[in-house]
Structure 1
Amino acid sequence: MKKNILFIPYNINYIYIEEKKNLNKFLYLYNDNYFFSININYKQNIKINQDTNTVIIENRNFNNKLNLFNHEFDKFLYSWDNFFFNKIKFTGKGFKWKKKETNLFLFFNRAHKCFFIGNNIILKRLSKSKIIILKNNYKHLIHDSILIRVIRSNNIFTKRGLRFSRQIILKKKGKTASQ
């Protein structure tokens, strides 16, 4: 018998419902903004410890993906009330950006328009050349920040372009005149 132990944060409420007719069990998780339900089949037993806010689900059959489920479920519950962030800096003469709601318009002295349309994202201006991106899903944050960085990647000759805040900047050596 395999035990699956889930910790529910204290800012998330839960209700456990057991139907006698169909032998169905439901665990509802909710807070002010989100709602989530877990259906538990009849082969599983559930125990709830209200002191430690843990839910123990006992499985009769062994499944080797329970550890992965625990890890992903913990990240999912953590993202309900917390934000992840990424800082993007740009360097270059004459480079500007304008923010309208969750859209980012970049002016990089090009003939075509460069812009990023964000979905469920918060953009904040830190300074003239720095912006911070806030999102509650870490994987989507990384994907969106890479999309922004690809618009004008850092040039190794002039060091102009977009980069992450702590990204290592590589500078290529120029030609030296030997006389």
Structure 2
Amino acid sequence: MKNIKIFVPYNINVSVLENNNNKIIYLYNNNYFFSLISTKLLFINYDSKYIHLHNTKLNNKISLFNSELNNFLYSWETIFFNKIKFTGKGFKFKKKINNIFLYFNRAHKCFFIGKNIIVKRLSKNKIILLKNNFYDLTKDSIILRNIRKNNIFTKRGLRFSRQIILKKKGKTTSN
């Protein structure tokens, strides 16, 4: 028997409705709501904001469900960010609403259209991406970085702010 313990952040409210043998758990705040249906033994501690579900079956996916649900509830009121820098002579970008138009001395247009993402310009060559879903933010920032990867010969291109920059060594003459 394995118990599922779900921590509910303090800015999320909890309500339980009982219907025959099922219990419906509603998690909500001002912007979102989420419901769980449980047929198992349920205990809610309103002081510490923990939900305990007693499970009779031993399943390997219970811990995965628990961690994913905790991450999902945590992301309701938390905003994640990723900072992107670019270097290179003549490289520039323009920001219109939440879209980025990149000018990298190419014949074709390079642009990034963000969905449910907030883009802020920090300086001439730095931007920050803000989103409340960590996985989507990671995907979007990797897509943006792959538009023009960092060149190991010239160090020009897009990179994450704390990414290690590799420089290719030049030719050495040994006599």
TM-score band w.r.t. shorter chain:
over 0.9
4+ long deviations beyond 3 Å:
175-179
TM-score using structure 1 length: 0.93
Spell out the pairing of 1:155-170 with structure 2 (5 A cutoff): 155-170=151-166
Equivalent position amino acid for 2:6 in 1: L
Task: Find 2:150's aligned residue among 137, 148, 154.
Answer: 154
Equivalent position amino acid for 2:13 in 1: N
Task: Output the aligned Cα RMSD.
Answer: 1.4
Number of aligned residues? 175
Equivalent position amino acid for 2:74 in 1: Y
Equivalent position amino acid for 1:138 in 2: F
Equivalent position amino acid for 2:65 in 1: F
Equivalent position amino acid for 1:94 in 2: G
SS at match of 1:72: helix
Corresponding residue for residue 6 of structure 1: 6
Deviation per residue, 1:60-101 (Å, 9 max, x gap): 222221111111111101100001111100001111101111
Corresponding residue for residue 40 of structure 1: 38
Deviation per residue, 1:137-174 (Å, 9 max, x gap): 11111111110011001111111100010111111122
Cα offset, 1:178, TM superposition:
7.2
Corresponding residue for residue 16 of structure 1: 16
TM-score using structure 2 length: 0.95
Task: Identify the range of structure 1 (123-132 vs 168-177) with the bigger mean alpha-carbon deviation.
Answer: 168-177
Structure 1 residues 60, 108: CA separation in 2 closer, same or farther (over 3 Å shift)? same
Deviation per residue, 1:12-44 (Å, 9 max, x gap): 011100013xx2210000001111000112xx1
SS at match of 1:151: coil
Task: Find 2:62's aligned residue among 63, 66, 81.
Answer: 66
Corresponding residue for residue 136 of structure 1: 132
Matched, 1:116 2:118: no
Q: Which segments of 5 or more consecutive residues in structure 1 lack a partner in the other structure?
A: none
Percent sequence identity over matched residues?
Answer: 64
Task: Identify the range of structure 1 (112-121 vs 168-177) with the bigger mean alpha-carbon deviation.
Answer: 168-177
Q: Which segments of 5 or more consecutive residues in structure 2 lack a partner in the other structure?
A: none
Equivalent position amino acid for 2:10 in 1: Y
Aligned mates of 1:4, 1:76 — CA distance in 2: 15
Equivalent position amino acid for 1:7 in 2: F
Corresponding residue for residue 45 of structure 2: 49
Aligned mates of 2:80, 2:4 — CA distance in 1: 27
SS at match of 2:138: helix
